[in-house]
Homo-oligomer: A and B are copies of this chain.
């Protein structure tokens, strides 16, 4: 089992806005994909689409305000199904620190390399969406390769 790890700091006085950006559809649409729908409450399912490629359905396992959000991938690419995505938040002075873990990959396949870099890029989009109000969600996301 191998994991994708990331860490960013968002300049904001409390974790509140970062938590909102992970749990409400309109804020998720501001940094990951404009085509986001569903419910960010525990037991709910969040649906993210990246036309024409496909997308992900995330079951919300945990949602503790300003502390932690955990998703389980219910549908999406075969390599993603059953993996978990964990967002750990804490405040450090003027920064909300986000520790990100996408756990449970079975093999370190080339697609996992791609997803790791792409997650890093989307985390920078999340940071920017909270700090400036302007992220880079799909289809306006940063292209990192021929796989987009």
Contact = CB atoms under 8 A, between A and B. Distances in A.
Interface of A: 2-9, 92-95, 97, 99-101, 108, 110, 112-114, 116-117, 120-121, 123-124, 127, 142, 144-147
A9 B93 contact: no
A4 B116 contact: yes
A123 B116 contact: no
A10 B142 CA distance: 13
A144 B116 contact: no
A20 B84 CA distance: 38
A145 B8 contact: yes
Given A116-B4, A121-B124, A9 B108 contact: no
B3 A144 contact: no
The 9 closest A-B pairs by CB, nearest first: A9-B145, A120-B120, A7-B113, A5-B113, A7-B114, A6-B117, A9-B146, A95-B146, A5-B116
